[in-house]
Structure 1
Amino acid sequence: MPANRRPILRQIPCLAMLFCISPMLAAFGQQQPLQTLLVGIDHRDAVSLDGDWHYLVDQFPFRALYTDSGAINDRGYGRNTHPNIASGAHNDEYDFATAPTLKVPGDWNTQVPQLFNYEGVVFYEKDFDAQPKPGARTFLHIGAANYRSHVWVNQKRVCDHEGGFTPFDCEVTGVLHAGSNYVVVGVDATRLVDGIPSTRYDWFNYGGLTRDVSLVTLPAAFIDDYDVHLTHGATWQPGNTELSGYVHVLDAPAGTAVTLSIPEAGVHASLKTDADGNAAFAVKASKLALWSPESPRLYKVSMASGADKLTDEIGFRDIRVEGTRILLNGKAVFLKGANVHAEAPIRGGRANNDQDVAVIFGALKELNANFVRMAHYPHDERMTRAADRNGVMVWSEIPNWQQIAFDRPEVYVKDVAMLKETIRRDRNKASVILWSVSNETPNNSTRTAFLTNLANEARRLDPTRPITSAFDTEHIKDGVGTLDDPFTNALDVIGINEYLGWYTGAPEAADSVRWILPRKPLIMSEFGSEAKAGNHGPATQRWTEEQQASVYKHQFAMLSKISELRGMTPWVLFDFRSTTRNIPVLQDGYNRKGLLSEDGKKKQSFFLLQQAYKDNAVGKPE
């Protein structure tokens, strides 16, 4: 990283040699390397491949995707051959040309009733026209596909990717030809013990090409990454208008010219790349209004190098931790928010379009929230863009949820890849103030070593944001709540998930709980109870709106007495699907802890929290 980017905390020493020696990890690295990842893809000219794609289901044992030895089958459906009725030539008995279609982006579960609970392999195919340009490079961009993806273009496998919530780009320059082309993507949603997340999690496993797919054509040398931020010094400097970072030009020789322009901030800089294609900078803005929830100011940032030009919209702000305070632009803030899953309210399925995002942020703003925890994985980039525009601060998380195989070095390699993809995509979003590396993980030395090193990696990749994680705590005994976990030493901000009044104890038991916690900012990252919208009864009757509201009232009483409390995100904004929630009538396959039902009906708890946030009745910035 450029020398002017200093870490916000010292590096925590390695705790286990297994996760500290990169050559050991390299032994597991005979996988596909990270694909080129194009930053700012939603601000580039692209040819959308969204729409109808033909699909075929590969039933277990998935022989169309895998060989008997477990290798990828390059002589299967990826070849996109057709049965020859006239000659009788055999093609493994499939045909995309006459196959049904699925909408992309979209999950297969909510589009085809027979595939609602299917967690296996589906092949997608689409024909498209292309006119390759001499000296240009073309990439196939996939916003996300859950969980493992293997991509063929014109019978050539161009890339593989693991991870259901981060984007990837496959270079197709050498395989495109003028006229008609095709792409086949084999998507495998099978849960894996060594996957991230693993096999057991409390949300729906939506499979498929769940986010946008497009073709992007760029010059031979182009801007693939950039970081433009308010310079983050060791301490907050009032009146700071220095912007720093880098613009990276892929495959550019040293000395390649780069221009950076932010007209409204009075920034016009001429830069040169180093031997790695990196053009670092530190420039003074002549005028600069900082981003905040009250004034979510975004600037048009233009970058150019050779034939490549790119303009993004970026806000500038400073976020840091000082003692038990969270400081935004030097001012202590209290984070009033909620958890949100990337599930589309009203229509259902994976959230992936502007309407989904508008409904979610409409509910957050009506709630008087200034913060959202995007659980438990990176959401569609539309979500972080909307957060920038709406002035809503974001907790961004990678899906290390409970039962990760922390003893496997190959899992650490996958985790680092997902972390890099997440940070690379969203580091220029002013709204993103926290990187989270895990949720509700077991307290043992192997996990602590794994996650401590992952937190260090996040800090190395981005020293300008605090690092957090959410802890599952049932350590409320004799009226005292504690968090005795060595992993807290590696974090800047602590998150605690507790469900007093639902999973343990009575709601009123919260009134007298006293917390003894590390002297770091605390976000009560989950609390709440389940209620079926429209189900009414006494406050002592579970599953009623009244009982859920009672839990909230007693939580407020407890939270108000925690001196370290700097934020709260009750679980959860909307009811969402989960295969583990199987009480008929009350749940019907949904986690019912939402402030709103899946179809947008507000529960009593919504109005209770709305008023508390309006009155600043719970928690203080200082």
Structure 2
Amino acid sequence: MKTYKIAFLAIFLSISFLSAQEDLITNIDSRKKVSLNGTWNYIIDPYNTGFLDYHLKERQEDDREAYWQDPTIKDKTERIEHGYQMPYTIQVPGDWNSQDEKFLYYEGTVWYQRNFDLDVAQDERVYLYFGAVNYETHVYLNGKKLGTHNGGFTAFNFEIPKDVLKEKDNFLVVMVNNTRKKNEIPSLNLDWWNFGGITRNVSLVIVPEKFIQSYSINLDQDQDIQSSKKRNRFKIEGTVHLNKPVPFSIVTVEIPALKLHEEYKVEGDSCRFNFEVKDLKLWAPGSPKLYQVAIRMGEEELKENIGFRKIETSGKDVLLNGEPIFLRGVCIHEEIPQDMRRAYSREDALTLLGWAVDLNANMVRLAHYPHNENMVKIADSLGLMVWSEIPVYWALNFESDEVLKNAKTQLEEMISRDKNRASVVIWSVGNETPVSATRTEFMKELIFKSKELDDTRLVSAALQVHNIDGTFIIDDPLGEFTDIVSVNEYLGWYGGLPDDAQTAKWEVTYDKPLFFSETGAGAKGGFHADKTTRWSEEYQAWFFEEQIKMMKRMPDNYCGIAPWILTDFRSPRRNNPEYQEGWNRKGLIDDKGNKKEAFYVLEDYYDEIEARQD
């Protein structure tokens, strides 16, 4: 029995490192596409019967017992032991945990299936695009494998070969496995619900034979922004990447509101461009100006609303468009607590970010993974700055080259999708990772990779502090390499009482902006008592009152705070039967959508900061 278990794990681990991922197609909302959202069929497969034979080997592609095969019986003598039919249906997008009680704690394999018709021209290509699937994904069409993807929170796509695609009755199967594993990202230990399933939109994207794969456009980072403001002239630069070399082609960049129309020659499979504009309104909280940008090649045209801004540091300050800015933040999980489900829609984003606006936040930390695209697009329009993070969380196997490769892939996928979002000002490469030389080298590689992929944003990571007799020391060696030093602290919740903050002292090794990426205390919504009673709303409010007093005594490099967390969220780690019941109760808003007393304490603090800055 033990031998089989080891063999099974070895096979699955080896499978998890397969990758047929292709370069991401960006801005699919501006492309010709067909939604595959809606009702799918499913099979729960805890033994992975549809994937592995009884010798624990991956089934052959033409194996009739493989669950990617159409189970329609062709002959009455045939033995078929799987099927996709009513009442076994599930909604996409959506996590499986919230759709049926039997899925609540389920971790394992679920097979998704649906049919579709598609008529395309001979000179068109078709890609199958997933906004995100948690976690390991194997995709099959008409019995042929299209590819594999690992990572639960980033978009990916596969091209459908023309000899596989049919005009009618295409049989699409997606195998999803959300089992936590030591050598994956995140790893085994989480403090959030491991929602499984096809959690974001699925689309068929139809493009020309030669097409624009991706592009980036932003302010030239080398210009002095204050000088540009005085001259009323700003430099903009960018790059367009094509799916293949296209000789003798021209790319057109147009921004009608700025009366800009420029043409650039393609060299190989890309072109770089730069130009100068006047009367540009910079994107910022309070004035989130977006411009429609059109990029064309041949008959293909992509349009997107894009803002232009510059984020940088200068000594102890974070500068937005050349001016110091204090980050009035809040952390958010991608979850709608009232429904106990993964958030995914535009309406969900408006709900969550609307609460952040009510708090008078100007920034959100999207923890602990890249959130769905609606969140950053709505943040663009609302003027909310965004910290976006990959799930390098707590303890990973930092010695593994494959784990590092996976982390870099997830980082690249996050940046590829959102590199044109003005709201995203910080890329984060991890959260509360244990300090060691190996871990620091691992994280340094991610920081350098982030800068290589995109040098228009700050890079950070949520670090921990250590307390020596009431003195909090921030000296994590990773702080040498991040643009801002970000720390999580919970004085008064995980140690001592809230008024211990009155005598706390802080020592920071790095002469860089200091950001508090987490702080908070738990409270069950509606439970009231005196302020010294744990889990009461009064205790949580007292916690923030003392934290705010402490923050006002911080060194002058204190640049912002993002309390943990906007709303209560599900976590199997939280098992107090009276106050938690599977919920992390640190939300400023409870699981019914009600604001707790602490919400208003923090709102008053943010109002005071805003008034002082004005």
Q: CA deviation at 1:44?
A: 2.3
CA distance in structure 2 between the partners assigned to 1:366 and 1:158 by the alignment: 45
Q: Which residue of 2 aligns with 1:132?
A: 120
Is 1:208 matched up with 2:197?
A: yes
Q: Which residue of 2 aligns with 1:79?
A: 69
Q: Which residue of 1 aligns with 2:418?
A: 426
Is 1:333 matched up with 2:321?
A: no
CA distance in structure 2 between the partners assigned to 1:271 and 1:505 by the alignment: 62
Instruction: State TM-score, norm by structure 1.
Output: 0.92
CA distance in structure 1 between the partners assigned to 2:412 and 2:584 by the alignment: 31
Q: How does 1:170-181 map to 2 (within 5 A)?
A: 170-174=158-162, 175-181=164-170
Q: Which residue of 2 aligns with 1:268?
A: 261
Is 1:195 matched up with 2:184?
A: yes
- Pick from 492, 507, 517 the counterpart of residue 501 of structure 1: 492
Q: CA deviation at 1:96?
A: 0.9
Is 1:65 matched up with 2:51?
A: yes
CA distance in structure 2 between the partners assigned to 1:34 and 1:176 by the alignment: 19
CA RMSD of aligned residues (A): 1.8
- Pick from 103, 109, 115 the counterpart of residue 103 of structure 2: 115
Q: Which residue of 2 aligns with 1:606?
A: 599
2:210 maps to a residue whose letter is A
Alignment CA distance shift 1:56-1:444 (3 Å) = same
CA distance in structure 2 between the partners assigned to 1:618 and 1:496 by the alignment: 26
1:95 maps to a residue whose letter is G
Q: Which residue of 2 aligns with 1:510?
A: 501
- Pick from 206, 210, 220 the counterpart of residue 231 of structure 1: 220
1:504 maps to a residue whose letter is G
Q: Which residue of 2 aligns with 1:436?
A: 428
CA distance in structure 1 between the partners assigned to 2:184 and 2:109 by the alignment: 16
Is 1:283 matched up with 2:275?
A: yes
Task: Tell me the matched-pair count.
Answer: 590
Alignment CA distance shift 1:619-1:522 (3 Å) = farther
Deviation larger for 478-487 or 364-373: 478-487
Is 1:478 matched up with 2:463?
A: no
CA distance in structure 1 between the partners assigned to 2:610 and 2:305 by the alignment: 34
Q: CA deviation at 1:65?
A: 2.2
CA distance in structure 2 between the partners assigned to 1:541 and 1:129 by the alignment: 60
1:609 maps to a residue whose letter is L
CA distance in structure 2 between the partners assigned to 1:393 and 1:446 by the alignment: 32
- Pick from 360, 376, 385 the counterpart of residue 368 of structure 1: 360
Alignment CA distance shift 1:549-1:299 (3 Å) = same
- Pick from 11, 29, 32 the counterpart of residue 42 of structure 1: 29
CA distance in structure 2 between the partners assigned to 1:28 and 1:55 by the alignment: 22
Is 1:143 matched up with 2:136?
A: no
Q: Which residue of 1 aligns with 2:246?
A: 253
Q: Which residue of 1 aligns with 2:147?
A: 159
| SS of the residue 1:524 aligns to | strand
| SS of the residue 2:461 aligns to | strand
Is 1:349 matched up with 2:341?
A: yes
Deviation larger for 72-81 or 321-330: 72-81
Q: Which residue of 2 aligns with 1:306?
A: 298
Deviation track 1:99-145 (CA, whole Å, cap 9, x = no partner) reads 51100000110001111100100000011111121011001111000
Alignment CA distance shift 1:28-1:586 (3 Å) = closer
| SS of the residue 1:327 aligns to | strand
Q: Which gives a bigger RCO, structure 1 or 2 (Cα 8 Å, sep 6+)?
A: 1
Deviation larger for 199-208 or 344-353: 344-353
CA distance in structure 1 between the partners assigned to 2:559 and 2:478 by the alignment: 19
Deviation track 1:181-210 (CA, whole Å, cap 9, x = no partner) reads 121000000101011000001000000000
Q: CA deviation at 1:247?
A: 1.2
2:217 maps to a residue whose letter is V
Alignment CA distance shift 1:332-1:253 (3 Å) = same
Deviation track 1:310-353 (CA, whole Å, cap 9, x = no partner) reads 10110000000111100000000000010000002422211011
Contact kept, 8 Å, 2:31 with 2:206, in 1: the verdict is no
Contact kept, 8 Å, 1:238 with 1:330, in 2: the verdict is no
CA distance in structure 2 between the partners assigned to 1:65 and 1:383 by the alignment: 35
Q: Which residue of 2 aligns with 1:95?
A: 83
Contact kept, 8 Å, 1:28 with 1:410, in 2: the verdict is no
Alignment CA distance shift 1:301-1:618 (3 Å) = closer
Alignment CA distance shift 1:429-1:617 (3 Å) = closer
1:78 maps to a residue whose letter is W
| SS of the residue 1:214 aligns to | strand
Contact kept, 8 Å, 2:18 with 2:148, in 1: the verdict is no
Instruction: State TM-score, norm by structure 2.
Output: 0.93
1:49 maps to a residue whose letter is L
Contact kept, 8 Å, 1:142 with 1:167, in 2: the verdict is yes
Contact kept, 8 Å, 1:560 with 1:619, in 2: the verdict is no
Is 1:537 matched up with 2:532?
A: no
Unaligned runs of 5+ in 1: 1-26
Q: CA deviation at 1:264?
A: 0.5
1:192 maps to a residue whose letter is K
| SS of the residue 2:253 aligns to | strand
Q: CA deviation at 1:619?
A: 9.5
What percentage of aligned pairs have identical amino acids? 38
CA distance in structure 2 between the partners assigned to 1:99 and 1:400 by the alignment: 38
Contact kept, 8 Å, 1:83 with 1:94, in 2: the verdict is no
Unaligned runs of 5+ in 2: 1-13
